[in-house]
Chain A
Amino acid sequence: MSTGTYDSGRESGRGQGRGPGRLRRRALLGGAAAAAAGFTLAGCGDGADGDAAPQERKKGQKITLSFWSWVPGIDKPVDLWNSGHPEVQVEVETVSAVDGRQYAKMHAAVKAGNPPDLAQIEFPVVPGFLLDNALMDLSALGVARYKDRFVGWQWQQSVFGTGVYAVPQASGPMGLFLRQDLFDRWSIQFPQTWDEYEEAAKAVRRQGAWIETFAPANGNRFAGLAWQAGAKWYAAQGDTWTVHIDDEPTRKVADYWESLVRRKLVKTIPDRQNAWYKDIQTGAIPAWIGASWGDALLAGNAPGTKGKWRAAPLPQWRKGADAHANWGGSTTAIFAKTSYPKDALDFALWLNSDPKSIALLIDGGYGFPSAKKGYATADLDVHQDFFGGQAYSRVFADAGAHVDTSWQWGPGVDTLYQRLGDAFTEALGSGGSFRSVLRAVQAQTVSDLRGKGLKVESGG
């Protein structure tokens, strides 16, 4: 994509046909920092692949590594690293995580040939960056010997073929957050199955509140719910990707939510936005299907409800089952363009497995550590007061231990989320069925991936 950050606005009144230039400018004004950076960079960078071959840092040489992340409080562990490593300084740039803008920025930087040395990338998005050969294969650096420091399936999320493309940072086992005071007052039991959840939704509705919102654009959570139901959206076999978005477990989930939406038992506003925060603060929405990192989010945005929330396991499709899923979860990836891969890897490993770093990351609220050791589950109960003294992290630790680890992500997940969001938005407006959403998105995803030059099969 071409570009220019110029401002043609002052030149003259001759404006008619200036199409692309104007478009760029408009986009810039669009102001998304991501867009701005993207457009700026893309203009000059492409093709300038003057290969700076990875080099070894000379002894005593001072370098600075750039690191893009959005973990709250990430600067604390980085400061700690910097104070102990005067020669390898890490500079954090906080990127916006709204609507995937951080990835927009990263894709643009990769295209422009000047990505950061390291960046936080969520599990689902890792394959998308591999398509552009953006990430460094760490196996050549002997990363395999650190594998045992991390939870097996999370390590595996960044393994493709023989390559290892990122160091896992944290996961997000899903769970159900509830306002205990309101559920008690309304004499509603904590739902243990999805059937009970539906009953609870009706009961909550009778009190004038809503149990949840089905946010159409939240493909991430929908994926998690499908994951819990046993879906497997992507599979890689030989040199071919298979896409199974329109599979039985996902249909079950889609039917379930469609019925809740149609009977007006849930709202359809976007989640984690002003209106939703307001509802969470006032009890107009007294529950949230979230993930382990949601503790900080609730405590930070609804401080007035302190002490009233509890965490519970996700409702199950079968009573007594223990099926769980993951929402979010990040890695620290090293970009292939970095000049100092070894130092970058040292930092990534330290950041995500050193107990002192983990302690600081936990304070910031980064999710559930991918490291096996270096912390106790109770350390994660940072917001225990908010949850009325509940040792809530045990709920998520248990969920994390029962996540279906065979789930695999494929390339183009950000596009997939967008497709899902667009199709659900349309279905909510036009009254189309959620099954038609799955059918459409399945077909689109297959064609999207083929459009990227991949071999793809459509699984049922």
Chain B
Amino acid sequence: MSGTDRGRPATGRVQRTRHPHNSRNFRNSRNPRLTRTEARNARAAAAFVLPFLALFLLCFVAPIGYAVHQSLHRTERTGPLGLGGQEREVFAGLANYAHALADDRFLTGFGRVLLFGVVQIPLMIALATALALLLESASARGIPFFRSAFFLPYGVPGVIASILWGFLYVPGISPLVEIAGSLGLHVDFLARDTVLWSIANIVTWQFTGYNMLVLISQLKAVPDELYEAARIDGANAWHLARHIKIPLIRPALVLTTVFSIIGTLQLFAEPMVLRPLAATIDSGFTPNLHAYSEAFVSNNQHIAAAEAVLLALVACVLSFGFLRLVGQRGDGSGR
């Protein structure tokens, strides 16, 4: 399911060795007869790249450009009461950005997702790592079953997951609340100070299995000789995990963490779905929800565009910041 984006298979680094200018050097230095082949190759390459490039421009570059354009303009209205008059777009400079940054609710939303990320991401990654190590350990049983079972929630779209969990959270409907109540405990999953963690629970439920799978695929790539050697040196299962496996899956850990950071900043579906059920989720609960509300409730597309750009910038800064922190360049960093 492409339904969510808290992680993505690591494929990036294979391509490094094939630099396109190699061929140009080649052509310049060798005899010209090869150029025809080269030209044909270039044409073929162009034909292969073109569809991607066209879609990339249409679906990726153009929307971003449009968002930036929108964020720098505003609507001016004339006519009595603003009704029935003409409206036109005028350049607004950074006014929309200033407006967004002066909006407490928008900033609070940022604070909220950062708090969410600081708590939930380490928790989820740790859990995913633990599950991956368990399933890849020598004594594991029923591996295919457990692997599918843990991965299954990822196949449930975020909206559906939120609806399902919503039923488990809403008092009066939820069996969990009822059971807790019969034990004399009063739990409210949707209260002001719990609702964020209820959402964290949904996200963790959904994405732990996915991240686990990414980690497992990296674990599978570890050559068996290493384990053998370690065992001969007297390492037990814990030593293997601690000193061999975890260091070797570090790239996958970095990757899943970066995707989780981005996914966290873009939290939307869960609060959006739970909002009608919880009197504690406001329209700016997450920055993304705030941008949505600006665009589609208040019909202020320009401000929403500015907020979207800001959100993207923060995601950039945090992702690259994290990569810098762990001392590793990302795959897409333009080298």
Residues of A participating in the B interface, judged by any CB pair closer than 8 Å = 1-4, 6-10, 12-27, 29-32, 34-35, 38, 42-43, 98-100, 103-105, 107-108, 111, 127-128, 130-133, 137, 160-161, 163, 215-217, 236, 238-241, 268-270, 273-275, 278-279, 284, 411-412, 414-415, 418, 421-422, 425-426, 428-429, 448, 451-455
Contact = CB atoms under 8 A, between A and B. Distances in A.
A2 B67 contact: yes
Contacts of B59: 4, 6, 8, 21
19 contacts: A2-B62, A3-B66, A7-B2, A12-B8, A16-B258, A19-B315, A21-B64, A27-B292, A29-B158, A29-B268, A103-B296, A111-B299, A133-B84, A133-B87, A161-B83, A268-B279, A270-B277, A453-B78, A453-B87
Given A6-B55, A17-B315, A274-B167, A418 B297 contact: yes
B311 A422 contact: no
B115 interface: no
Interface in B249-266: 255, 258-259, 262-263, 266
A30 B268 contact: yes
Contacts of A217: 275-276, 279
B331 A14 contact: yes
Contacts of A18: 60, 262, 312
B279 A270 contact: yes
A9 B5 contact: yes
Interface of B: 2-5, 8-12, 55, 58-60, 62-67, 69-70, 74-78, 80-87, 99, 105, 157-159, 166-167, 170-173, 192, 255, 258-259, 262-263, 266-269, 272-273, 275-284, 288, 291-293, 295-301, 303-305, 308-309, 311-313, 315-316, 319-320, 323, 330-333
B323 A107 contact: no
A9 B84 contact: no
A414 B67 CA distance: 24
Nearest to A282: B172
Contacts of A30: 158-159, 268-269, 272-273, 292
A415 B308 contact: no
Given A3-B66, A29-B269, A160-B81, 11 more contacts: A13-B8, A16-B323, A16-B332, A21-B59, A22-B5, A23-B311, A31-B158, A132-B299, A274-B173, A426-B282, A453-B76
A67 to B, nearest CB: 21
Contacts of B263: 26
A395 B63 CA distance: 54
Contacts of A6: 55, 59-60
Contact of B82 (A12, A35, A42, A131): A131
Contacts of A269: 171, 279
A415 B293 CA distance: 9
Contact of B3 (A29, A100, A161, A411): A29
A278 B172 contact: yes
B192 A12 contact: no
